[in-house]
A and B are shown apart, each in its own frame.
Chain A
């Protein structure tokens, strides 16, 4: 095995020591309840997925025909059920299970549990002790892949803990677009998804990462993500949550370690039913001329609770720039929203850090403007709310747009 025994036992022992360590944020989840093992057989192609599973995959942005995708990875519960790489791109990139990558590549040791620590909390520990796949993607130097890679992590079984470890490496001068979805195809399932993600963008590389989450009422989610950016590297993260979830808590760390590195986060979050949502990002500006931006659009409907966080931490002594823009609308009298932007300058005498955070209803003036054009109030509210959530995220299928409209129509009644 390419990863040294020493390193592996080090990871395991760190994890073992942290296996009861509660996370700083989010309600504590008792992992003992989710011990089932659920394995599934491989499928020939995506169109032979079971109807319900396929629908879940589509809802999270998967292109079943793979026409406008360069490769795919699908995991159901604890098994990888589908992997593909378009022939055309096989000299440009790799896509496989992380377990396979760990078996196969010597270099993996430098990327495995490096920027996410196994002993961060009980959730990282659980994945380190009991991993089940996750995807590995790597683009070779100076390769620009035409279409996105897609990955989908599905659950259709009760009481499981899906412990995935994802690694993406964008080599020097390369660029990659990734669309991932996590979906539950069993709506009443209890369980948890634990996702470790370690992304590395090398010098001059660029990664656009879009994630669509479709969970349900009884499911907990604890992603643990870090991104490492070298000189001139670019990272764009788009995140969309439009379905209920029991609880989700995540705050990816972005380390901008090389000069001119840039990171942007776009979060679109719709809190439904009694979802507990605590999402943010922490960006560390460690090198000259680094830039970070974080935009969040959140709507709290029903009885949801949303924490929208964003931390900008400047460390470089040279110029750097960071901006947070988090705006929220509370649609329901029973919902709660927290907008918590934080700016930190650790002796960064030349850093420009700024934020604008606001929570407020949609603008009456805009609604009336559209009404004066002969658009009825409900349609006006829907149009404006869709506009509020519209962050121009590419490769988002049209039906997700329509889905947004349906949700708005169903939940915006108290809005005005």
Chain B
């Protein structure tokens, strides 16, 4: 069967620095995978490259999404094809209220006011929507706002960069359930969406059932395995053991 995502020997540089050094990676439709790896390994750069941010310059290699070569497509085109991204550190958009963005996204994607209400309620974010996007948002508020936007966007393939960083235990559950809902994993008959999730703590694994884990080191994917086993190994020995695989 054709893969949903296929990345072939991807080399990417940012501001002249080589951040991806030959990534080979693929995911099937509806797969949920997690990405581990030490700080600065290039995980975020990988996601930004998949989304098509021009700052992340592809020097070599190809990205295929749903069988189509998207390497030269811009961010908008990729999002229209069904890729979405929850940012590790989203930018502030001054003067534009989150509410305004919510209205625009729900209009664009045919989501009813009632549906929006439920999402706002579930993510406990209603009280912040009059504020400018991400302006002074706390770590947890920012992540909830990111997931909220994805829930209105309903991408087929979701890139989620550290959904639990800066989020307290209670809110991790909330964010976790929301992601699960977004991926359609909480209902038998919902359409299944695929996801790639970056996590350091693995807390998200308590809420989202991941099929496979990958370890990213020094600009490359070096191994894969059962995500829980990998997490336990990393917790015990850090990434030292990975040097062996490499």
Contact = CB atoms under 8 A, between A and B. Distances in A.
Asked if A pairs with B, the answer is yes
B149 A373 contact: yes
B101 interface: yes
B115 to A, nearest CB: 17
A175 to B, nearest CB: 24
B214 to A, nearest CB: 22
Given A372-B79, A377-B76, A366 B93 contact: yes
A365, A374, A375 pick with most chain B CB within 10 angstroms? A374
Interface string B151-192: 001000000000000000000000000000000000000000
Contacts of B94: 387-388
Contacts, number: 67
Contacts of A376: 76
A384 B79 contact: no
A375 B76 contact: yes
A389 B75 contact: no
B91 A375 contact: no
B19 interface: no
A363 to B, nearest CB: 7
B105 A387 contact: no
A391 B132 CA distance: 12
A400 interface: no
Interface residues of A, number: 22
Contacts of A383: 93, 96, 100-101, 104
B111 to A, nearest CB: 12
A79 B53 CA distance: 59
Contacts of A365: 91
A369 B88 CA distance: 12
Contacts of B75: 368, 371-372
A376 B76 CA distance: 6
A405 B50 CA distance: 32
A390 B93 CA distance: 12
Contacts of B149: 373
Contacts of B74: 371
B150 to A, nearest CB: 8
B138 to A, nearest CB: 19
Interface residues of B, number: 28
Contacts of A390: 95-96
B177 to A, nearest CB: 22
Contacts of B109: 374
Interface string A382-403: 0110111111000000000000
B79 A374 contact: yes
Given A371-B76, A374-B79, A377-B76, A384 B53 contact: no
A122 B153 CA distance: 60
B80 A369 contact: no
A370 B53 CA distance: 12
B87 interface: yes
B198 to A, nearest CB: 16
A370 B149 CA distance: 10
Nearest to A374: B79
Interface string B64-87: 000000000011101110001101
B93 A370 contact: yes
Contacts of B90: 369
A384 B96 contact: yes
A369 B93 contact: yes
B51 interface: yes
B2 interface: no
A195 B50 CA distance: 58
B237 interface: no
Closest 5 pairs between A and B when the two form their complex, measured CB to CB: A387-B95, A387-B96, A390-B95, A374-B79, A371-B75
Given A374-B76, A387-B132, A389-B95, 20 more contacts: A365-B91, A366-B92, A368-B53, A368-B54, A369-B87, A369-B93, A370-B93, A371-B76, A371-B79, A372-B53, A372-B75, A372-B78, A372-B84, A374-B79, A374-B105, A376-B76, A377-B76, A386-B95, A387-B93, A387-B95
14 contacts: A369-B90, A370-B93, A373-B105, A374-B76, A374-B105, A375-B76, A375-B105, A383-B93, A383-B101, A386-B96, A387-B93, A387-B94, A389-B95, A391-B95
